């Protein structure tokens, strides 16, 4: 292993930070949208559902490329100077995590919507209480939705490379570091970084699951 | 979760003290040369350098959109075009080495005995021996295509001609697995030599195989935000005699020869707009 341990920790922390921020942004929009779409009384919103499910297959390199053009100094948002920064990676990965969070939330809420509505309405509850109950009753699958979004963000390499640039001490994350070490022929380092990546994903997922079960 | 978000955003801004962004080729980065040179520069000037290591074609594309402050690449004609298009200024020749044709030690196409680089390419073609091309618009790919062209050959539709689409290190590994020939820069070849089973078969001073690294400042008149001061500072640093000597000495002990030979700013191949 040629990489110093301190640098591995730094890279892993950055990976975690970027993916967590991306998941947070995705959840900020995706959770309310998923609940709203899933709770609608009659069918409809089918188009949105199709888009969300298809979005789970968004190719990261294409998302990265779109953000590259948007954020480039010669692009429409070039004035922000965001290309090749962690913030650019957060944005691109949030777009990749968003369909996971919104789509799985939608599916979970829809499966419970009719039963919960009948029950809450029967007890004299309002539509707002229907939504609150739905959110509560769907908390476990919503944790799965968050875990899926986080997994999509942290494991992704195409967009991270294009909008991040794999700059050492700045935008290098675990996945881009694995690519770099492989390119250098340092296969053992690459494999070790891969193991760290799996470890980080495992720990974060475990925390999410325990959190979902306990509440 | 919020705290992690904050941490993520802070990491984005913490290093914003006017860093220099250098778009460069994988060969100078993956061989560790920049990691050996740049800390000295940062220590002297306080300017942190952010290195984006991609192929020469992509490095010039990134810089050509104003997304880097300087480039260090190895394709003199592409550099000349970059200057001509007004995207770059202050070209300087930093170092050179040579390209190497690497291949299986058994050398079925008898490349090792070729009298010239063109002869070597013709022998590979005639033997129909597997050849791995970068296929990625990198400086090395650019040179490989120029060699085929100069030899009057068109390998594109040949079944033995493979395009890897990846960096030099990965391409060497692929060539080793396929027992194929490939064109590589000397630096990456020496650096990877112990990790892949490939022999350096055509490795001679030959003007056609000259591999020259050039530095350019991205034109600040074209892109107002370019950190030109830092880009000129790095240019001066790289050309300084003691740093040039450091370039020549890099890993020389380990390999018995220089991975990169200093040029002290004097180009072997002129790069004129």
Write out chain A in H/E/C secondary structure: CCCCHHHHHHHHHHHHHHHHHHHHHHHHHHHHHHHHHHHCCCCCCHHHHHHHHHHCCCCHHHHHHHHHHHHCCCCCCHHHCCCCCHHHHHHHHHHHHHHHHHHHHHHHHHHHHHHHHHHHHHCCCCHHHHHHHHHHHCHHHHHHHHHHHHHHHHCCCHHHHHHHCCCCCCCCCHHHHHHHHHHCCCHHHHHHHHHHHHHHHHHHHHHHHHHHHHC
**Radius of gyration in angstroms for the set of CA atoms belonging to chain A, rounded to a whole number:** 20
Q: CA-to-CA distance for B172 and B176, rounded, in angstroms? A: 6
- Residue B12 predicted with pLDDT over 70: no
pLDDT number for residue A213: 84
Asked if the structure places residue B271 within a domain, the reply is: no
Interface of B to A at Cβ within 8 Å reads 1-2, 4-5, 7-9, 11-12, 15, 19, 21, 26, 30, 48, 50-53, 65-67, 166-170, 172-173, 191-192, 195-196, 223, 225
Across the interface, whether the CB atoms of B11 and A182 are under 8 A apart is answered: no
- Residue B93 predicted with pLDDT over 90: yes
In chain A, residues with a C-beta closer than 8 Å to the C-beta of B26 are 183
Asked if the structure places residue B270 within a domain, the reply is: no
In chain B, residues with a C-beta closer than 8 Å to the C-beta of A166 are 52-53
Residue B267, min C-alpha distance to chain A (Å): 28
CATH code for the domain in which residue A135 is found: 1.10.3720.10
- Structurally, how many domains does chain A consist of? 1
Query: Which range of residues forms the domain containing residue B6?
Result: 2-97+210-265
> Are B104 and B171 found together in one domain?
yes
- Structurally, how many domains does chain B consist of? 2
In chain A, residues with a C-beta closer than 8 Å to the C-beta of B192 are 184-185
> Are B106 and B200 found together in one domain?
yes
CATH code for the domain in which residue B47 is found: 3.40.190.10
> Are B75 and B145 found together in one domain?
no
Whether the CB-CB separation of B266 and B93 falls below 8 Å is answered with yes
Across the interface, whether the CB atoms of A185 and B195 are under 8 A apart is answered: yes
> Are B87 and B123 found together in one domain?
no
Across the interface, whether the CB atoms of A167 and B50 are under 8 A apart is answered: yes
> Are B88 and B139 found together in one domain?
no
Surface-to-core class of residue B32, CB atoms within 10 Å of its CB (0-12 exposed, 13-18 middle, 19+ buried): middle
Residue B115, min C-alpha distance to chain A (Å): 32
What are B52's strand-pairing partners? B23
Q: Which of B163, B172, B131, B200 is nearest to B27 (CA)?
A: B172
Percent of chain B with pLDDT over 70: 94
Interface confidence (ipTM) of the complex: 0.81
Residue among A24, A72, A73 whose CB faces B5 most closely = A24
The last residue of one of the domains, among B168, B191, B209, is B209
Asked if the structure places residue B158 within a domain, the reply is: yes
pLDDT number for residue A3: 83
Tokens 């004097």, residue located: B266
Measured in residues, chain A has a length of 215
> Are B250 and B188 found together in one domain?
no
Tokens 């920064």, residue located: A85
Whether the CB-CB separation of B54 and B28 falls below 8 Å is answered with no
Whether the CB-CB separation of A55 and A99 falls below 8 Å is answered with yes
Whether the CB-CB separation of A58 and A96 falls below 8 Å is answered with yes
> Are B106 and B186 found together in one domain?
yes
Residue A42, min C-alpha distance to chain B (Å): 35
Split at pLDDT 50, 70, 90, the class of B195 is confident
Q: What is the mean pLDDT of residues B125-148?
A: 93
Q: CA-to-CA distance for B180 and B173, rounded, in angstroms? A: 10
Q: CA-to-CA distance for B11 and A208, rounded, in angstroms? A: 24
What are B100's strand-pairing partners? B184
The last residue of one of the domains, among B192, B209, B226, is B209
Residue among B19, B65, B196 whose CB faces A73 most closely = B65
pLDDT number for residue B166: 83
Residue A180, min C-alpha distance to chain B (Å): 8
pLDDT number for residue B1: 46
> Are B104 and B92 found together in one domain?
no
Across the interface, whether the CB atoms of B1 and A183 are under 8 A apart is answered: no
Whether the CB-CB separation of A89 and A173 falls below 8 Å is answered with yes
Query: Which range of residues forms the domain containing residue A47?
Result: 5-214
Asked if the structure places residue B162 within a domain, the reply is: yes
CA angle B46, B51, B53 (to 5 degrees): 165
Q: Which of A30-44, B25-39, B160-174, B185-199 has the lowest mean pLDDT?
A: A30-44
Q: What is the pLDDT of residues A47-57, one digit of tens each?
A: 888 999 999 99
Q: What is the pLDDT of residues B14-41, one digit of tens each?
A: 444 589 999 999 888 888 899 999 999 9
> Are B77 and B104 found together in one domain?
no
pTM of the full predicted structure? 0.85
- Residue B8 predicted with pLDDT over 50: no
> Are B61 and B74 found together in one domain?
yes
Q: Which of B145, B192, B136 is nearest to B164 (CA)?
A: B136
Percent of chain B with pLDDT over 90: 77
Q: CA-to-CA distance for A44 and A7, rounded, in angstroms? A: 50
């Amino acid at each position: 292993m040629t990489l110093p341990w301190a640098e591995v920790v730094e890279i892993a922390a950055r990976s975690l930070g970027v993916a967590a921020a991306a998941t947070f942004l995705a959840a900020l929009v995706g959770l309310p949208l998923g609940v709203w779409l899933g709770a609608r009384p009659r069918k409809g919103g089918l188009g949105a559902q199709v888009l969300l499910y298809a979005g789970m297959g968004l190719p990261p390199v294409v998302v990265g490329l779109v953000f590259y053009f948007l954020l480039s100094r010669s692009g429409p948002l070039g004035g922000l100077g965001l290309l090749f920064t962690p913030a650019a990676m957060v944005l691109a990965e949030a777009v990749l995590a968003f369909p996971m969070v919104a789509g799985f939330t939608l599916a979970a809420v829809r499966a419970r919507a009719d039963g919960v509505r009948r029950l809450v309405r029967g007890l004299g509850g309002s539509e707002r209480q229907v939504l609150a109950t739905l959110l509560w009753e769907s908390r476990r699958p919503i944790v799965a939705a968050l875990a899926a979004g986080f997994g999509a963000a942290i494991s992704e390499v195409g967009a991270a490379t294009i909008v991040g640039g794999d700059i050492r001490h700045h935008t290098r994350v675990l996945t881009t570091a694995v690519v770099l070490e492989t390119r250098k022929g340092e296969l053992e380092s690459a494999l070790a970084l891969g193991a760290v990546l799996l470890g980080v994903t495992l720990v974060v997922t475990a925390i999410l699951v325990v959190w979902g079960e306990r509440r | 979760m919020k705290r992690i978000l904050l941490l993520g955003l802070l990491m984005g801004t913490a290093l914003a003290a006017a860093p220099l962004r250098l778009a460069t080729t994988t060969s100078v980065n993956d061989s560790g040369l920049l990691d050996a040179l740049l800390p000295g520069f940062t220590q002297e000037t306080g300017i942190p350098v952010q290195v984006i290591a991609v192929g020469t074609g992509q490095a010039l594309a990134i810089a050509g959109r104003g997304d880097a402050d300087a480039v260090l690449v190895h394709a003199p004609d592409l550099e000349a075009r970059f200057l001509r298009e007004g995207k770059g200024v202050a070209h300087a020749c930093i170092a050179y080495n040579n390209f190497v044709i690497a291949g299986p030690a058994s050398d079925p196409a008898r490349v090792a005995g070729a009298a010239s680089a063109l002869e070597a390419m013709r022998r590979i073609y005639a033997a129909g021996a597997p050849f791995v091309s970068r296929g990625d618009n990198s400086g090395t790919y650019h040179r490989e295509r120029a060699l085929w062209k100069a030899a009057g050959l068109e390998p594109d539709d040949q079944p033995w001609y493979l395009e890897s689409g990846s960096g030099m290190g990965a391409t060497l590994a692929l060539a080793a697995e396929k027992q194929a020939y490939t064109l590589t820069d000397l630096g990456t070849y020496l650096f990877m030599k112990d990790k892949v089973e490939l022999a350096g078969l055509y490795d001679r001073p030959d003007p056609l195989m000259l591999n020259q690294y050039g530095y350019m400042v991205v034109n600040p008149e074209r892109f107002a935000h370019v950190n030109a001061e830092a880009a000129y500072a790095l240019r001066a640093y790289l050309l300084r005699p003691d740093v040039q000597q450091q370039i020549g000495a890099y890993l020389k002990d380990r390999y018995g020869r220089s991975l990169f030979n200093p040029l002290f700013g004097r180009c072997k191949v002129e790069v004129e707009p």
